[in-house]
Amino acid sequence: MNVAIIGVGLIGGSLAITLREQKIATRILGVDKDENNLKKAVQLGLIQEGVALEKAVKESDIVFLTVPVDAILHLLPPLLDRVSNQVIVDMGSTKKTILHAVSDHPKRGRLVAAHPMAGTEHSGPEAAIPNLFKGKMMVYVDAMNSDEDAFEAVDAIIEQLEMHTTFMSANEHDLHTAYVSHISHVTSFALALTVLEKEKSQGRIFELAGSGFESTVRLAKSSPDMWTPIFRQNRDNVLEVLQEHIRQLQQIYDVLDREDYDLFYKLIKKSNKIRRILR
């Protein structure tokens, strides 16, 4: 199978590694607006060749779109224009705006919208790692709008990637990811800003930074090029969740301020219920 990967960064590069290792792809073409990324991706052995978008679509059976969601929004309509029988897989982290933009496209059936719940805080082709997807969740979004053969082709690959799968509507997907992914990034950004602000006057703060701090703040290393468009496209849901989160923090502030330690204890105890969900 000939595969094209548009955007040879963390996601696209990691996908390329697995497609090659699993012998799913016989030939992998890469497309990237950054010439340097393309060169690195060839050097790292992620892709065989860096080519122009037109050539990649023409010579591939499946095209994976692994660029930031603003680029997906711009690329997807002209990409579908060029498609005959190929399959396009949109791997973006938001779906509503993107799928709305192509809802009336005559080739909509050739598009499979899928969001792998996998990633790290790093970016670029050097960040690509083997097994990024193994055991993770792939969310198929509005799958009924894809042609059956297109969906089956993608799902066969996802199975070989050893991913779990689930199905959601675009609305569900964007709301749920606001809660379990986008808000985590906002809290990490804000936490980093809080502590960096203080560091200016208190240079020794970071001597004490342990694993707890590291784990709550590591997402603050995430790329603004990737994340700004996600927040733009999922603005309404993120604002709703963020408002609730600020309300919860303000509640903890008030409880501590009035020294109601019984209630403080109960709030921690209640938050412990997250153990049900996390290993």
- Binding to a second copy (CB under 8 A) within 148-167 occurs at 166
DSSP string, the chain: -EEEEES-SHHHHHHHHHHHHTT--SEEEEE-S-HHHHHHHHHTTS-SEE--HHHHHHT-SEEEE-S-HHHHHHHHHHHHHH-SS-EEEE--S--HHHHHHTTT-TTGGGEEEEEE----S--SGGG--TTSSTT-EEEEESGGGS-HHHHHHHHHHHHHTT-EEEEE-HHHHHHHHIIIIIHHHHHHHHHHHHHHHHHTT-TTGGGG--HHHHHHHGGGGS-HHHHHHHHHHTHHHHHHHHHHHHHHHHHHHHHHHTT-HHHHHHHHHHHGGGGGT--
User: Count of residues binding a second copy (CB under 8 A)?
Assistant: 92
Smaller CB distance to a second copy: residue 100 or 221? Answer: 221
Give residues 216-275 in contact with a second copy (rule: CB under 8 A): 216-224, 227-228, 231-232, 235, 238-239, 241-246, 248-250, 252-253, 256-257, 259, 261, 264-275
Binding mask 107-146 for a second copy (x = CB under 8 A): ----------xxxxx--------------xx-x-------
Is residue 18 close enough to count as binding a second copy by CB under 8 A? no
- From the list 18-26, 38-46, 76-84, 172-180, the region that binds a second copy by CB under 8 A is 172-180
Min separation Cβ 46 and a second copy, Å: 22
Is residue 72 close enough to count as binding a second copy by CB under 8 A? no
Min separation Cβ 10 and a second copy, Å: 13
